[in-house]
Chains A and B, each alone.
Chain A
Amino acid sequence: MGHGHHIEVKQEQFVFSPKAKRFSMILMVLGLIFAGLGIANLGGHEETHTAKTEVAAHEGAQHGEGHAVAAHEEHGNVETEAFGPRMEFHPLDKPANTRIWANLMIAGYFFLMISLVALMWYAIQYIANAGWSVGIKRIPEAIMTFIPVPFVVLIVALLMGKNDIYHWAHYEHLGLKPGDAGYDAILAGKSGFLNSTMLFVFPSVLVVIWYLLMRKLRSLSAAEDNATRGDVSFFRTSVKFSAAFAVIFGFTISVIAWLLIMSVDAHWYSTIFGFYNFVTHWVTMITIMAFFVAFIKKEGYLGFVTNEHMHDLGKFMFAFTVFWAYLWLSQYLLIWYAQIPEEMAYYQIRFENYKFNFLLNFAMCFCIPFLGLLMRSAKRNRYVLGIIGSIMILGHYHDVWLMVFPGVFGSGMQFGFLELGNFLLFAGVFTYWVFTALTKRGLVAVNHPYLDESAHHDVGV
């Protein structure tokens, strides 16, 4: 076995300590307080009111009645004013609680993707025959059980706020025929994909498939724990199911991102969008995983998981930070090079009216993590990882917020108390759920064929 020194790895049972409980409770309480503050502010209508007038002025100055542009289009006059956004916002029609539904939708989507990406990470470890990660494989295994919770939240948010969040849903409601005033050829053309049935049925079917594959992989892992040592049949079956999941997930995740998030700006599209969404959540999930590993180790578990494993997680965080920036820029540059002004609509509103958030997003998701995690010593330091990782998690949540809010509300919104509180509340529930899931089975995959490799993992001096 190995390299001169034998490392004894025994089964450990995780106990949901009072400290961990307190931590998730604090997150939830803080979340409730902030969200409460945010909701109290909603009642005042001041913020929303300002938003409305601003957008109305903006829209009026630019091209008068929003539908006029679409009408132009219909009559074959494709000459578009430079940078004239063809998407129309209807902030005037939005009730104040749209902001609540949009927030729930973002949180649901974000945490659904985090759980799914954890499952994807787990699957990739099997497909790639990865040895180093076996010691921490129970953590993604716990995160991926969270799939149903955010999905339910997402569905509730969509049921309540669909018509106000998606202007295609609002448009669908109008039931316009060609030739009618306000008929929108683009939305009509996309209605085969962007319709209310699709919005609920498609994600539901996929979530059921993903959920079943998750249960299967988890049960294989549990069966392996109770089997005899040296039985690799569970490992082999897991590889097969992981491969199946990876193929399904790889194709469907983009579609989910288009359907749920990209359709907020229904006139606009970007082919890289799904992948960009995947990477945003992927890098966040790895950060969250690193946090859980650090916390669990601090509680005295997983003695054989060392700084070497943390270093590799840090490398993952760093590497995918760069990859995120690559996609972030690529999505824009493709549109910029292609010389199609109406494709700029997505960026125009974000850069004109949300300049601070737009640049903050880039700073939190790229500049700070890139410089902060560049050095080897930073990746091996729990405190540096903690600070940079917190910025990253919040930054990527803010990234999703920036994908949705300008499209839903037009200008004048800000990442306020409600958004922060909503995120913290969900983070608390998520933490609580994952810790509970960790107690359900032993913390070490004792019969995994690569456990010893993981215990001896060493990245060198």
Chain B
Amino acid sequence: MGILDKKLSLRDRKKMLVGVWEDEDQLMAGAGELAHAGIHIHDVYTPYPVHGLDRIIGARRSKLARIAFFCAVTGLTLVTTMIWYMSVHDWPMNIGNKPVRFTPSWAPVMFEGTVLCTAFGMSFFFFWRNRLVHGIKNELLDIRQTDDRMVLTIETTDGMDEKAVLDMMKNHGAVELRAFHNGVQTVL
């Protein structure tokens, strides 16, 4: 899968520490303490949005808005060119004696074309970025992360005190602790 796997797969990363929570309040407290201790949290997978968690784990703002802008500009250019080519350049038609170059009457099509390209572009990029493209194998660390459990992952670094990190997670109510390395999970 080329670029897709290299950038986004958990498989090619170093050893990951995985904590599984059942309660979002405890998860938030745990994530807060980990972040406070200077440990970089790779990601948290939750079945529903947990408000405020993105700030705690230091998630950066989604780049989807920039992609939306790019798609909008592309769509606008594309559609404007299309209208110009069709109804001015290639085959101008006299409809009710109206001028062919009257741009306000192009506005609805320009608007719709912009929206169409933006919507499709954003959807594709969103699914691609979230590995929801058909044919990519899902990597669920815990099958219940889409149901009622929350999974927090930390990528180990050289010199990280793994024991201390695991203790921190356990103290904040993590119900399961695991390690994930080369595609194999081991319960700790």
Contact = CB atoms under 8 A, between A and B. Distances in A.
B104 A3 contact: no
Nearest to B50: A3
B59 A458 contact: no
Which bucket holds chain A's interface residue count? 10 to 19
Q: Which of B32, B51, B102 has the most CB of A within 10 A?
A: B51
Interface stretch (B21-29, B83-91, B122-130): B21-29
B142 interface: no
Contacts of B24: 3-4
Contacts of B133: none
Nearest to A339: B96
Nearest to A457: B51
A333 B104 contact: yes
Interface residues of B, number: 25
A431 to B, nearest CB: 34
Contacts of A460: 49, 51, 54
Contact of A3 (B51, B60, B96): B51
A460 B102 CA distance: 42
A333 B98 CA distance: 12
B55 interface: yes
B108 interface: yes
Interface string B101-131: 0101101100100000000000000000000
A134 to B, nearest CB: 16
Contacts of B32: 4
Nearest to B102: A336
A212 to B, nearest CB: 39
A337 interface: yes
Contacts of B78: none
B58 to A, nearest CB: 9
Given A3-B25, A4-B29, A376-B65, A461 B55 contact: yes
Nearest to A332: B104
B105 A337 contact: yes
A155 to B, nearest CB: 38
A369 B96 CA distance: 35
Interface in B24-41: 24-25, 28-29, 32
